[in-house]
Amino acid sequence: MKALIIVDIQNDFLPGGALAVPGGDQVIAIVNNLLPHFELIVATQDWHPPHHGSFASAHPGRQPFESGRLGDLEQVFWPDHCVQGTLGAEMPLSLNTKPVEAIFRKGTDPGIDSYSGFFDNGKKKDTGLAAYLRGRGVTSIYTVGLAGDYCVGFTALDALAHGFQTFVVEDATRPISQQGFEDMKSAIRQLGGIILNSYLLLQQAN
């Protein structure tokens, strides 16, 4: 049983958004086309409270995209983005969310960031996604969405760590940094993950 995980396709990660991923809008049509090929579809949403600790604005004197620390972890400081209840945190209307069965929200604790859909960055809090997928009989996970070098990549790494057969649909994701994505793909492949193109999935009958 295979599941599609749509990671953080939210207005703030699209061109014009607060933390725009280059070409992020181009994944939407590809993801819409993939939906009929999956028996289970779930989504994640980056869902920060105002003044979240990952925001540069929460650290006087720090600028977006600088590195620093949050708690006892290294942290990239981001522009304010995906604040709970704002339009930027919503999924775009052009994304077909009708077949999405569950949404897992993350990044809600102001003191820690959460790139993966499974855990926060310190691996302290579980979102319940793994148990949900196991309960539904899922064995294979296909990850798509934004951004490839952060939330999609870390979701795929945690899926592998949980023992799921894991795929990243490369043309259905876009990275913030191309080099970061190359490094992320190497790490995923090293753990047995597979990077593929959507046409391979669309070729199949169902």
Nearest CA-CA partner of 9 in 132, 171, 173: 173
For residue 92, what is the DSSP state? P
| Contact call for residues 194 and 168 (beta carbons, < 8 A) | yes
Residues 42-81 within binding reach of ligand VGL (CB under 6 A): 46, 78
Site for Zn ion in 103-142 (CB under 5 A): 107
Phi-psi region of 72 (alpha: psi -120 to 50; beta: other; left: phi over 0): alpha
Instruction: Tell me if 12 contacts ligand VGL by CB under 6 A.
Output: no
- Judged by beta carbon, residue 23 or residue 36, the one nearer ligand VGL is 23
Are 167 and 141 in contact by the 8 Å Cβ rule? The answer is yes
Q: How far does the chain reach from its first CA to its final CA, in angstroms? A: 13
What φ, ψ does residue 36 adopt, rounded to 5°? -65, -10
Q: Which of 12, 82, 106, 158 is catalytic?
A: 106
124 has catalytic annotation: no
- Minimal distance, residue 159 CB to Zn ion, in Å: 19
The option from ligand VGL, Zn ion, none interacting with 20 (CB < 5 to 8 A, set by class) reads none
Q: Which of Zn ion, ligand VGL, none interacts with 117 (beta carbon under 5 to 8 A by kind)?
A: none
Among 150, 164, 167, 181, binds ligand VGL (CB under 6 A): 150
Q: Which residues are identified as catalytic?
A: 8, 106, 151
Using CB under 5 A, list all residues that contact Zn ion.
46, 107
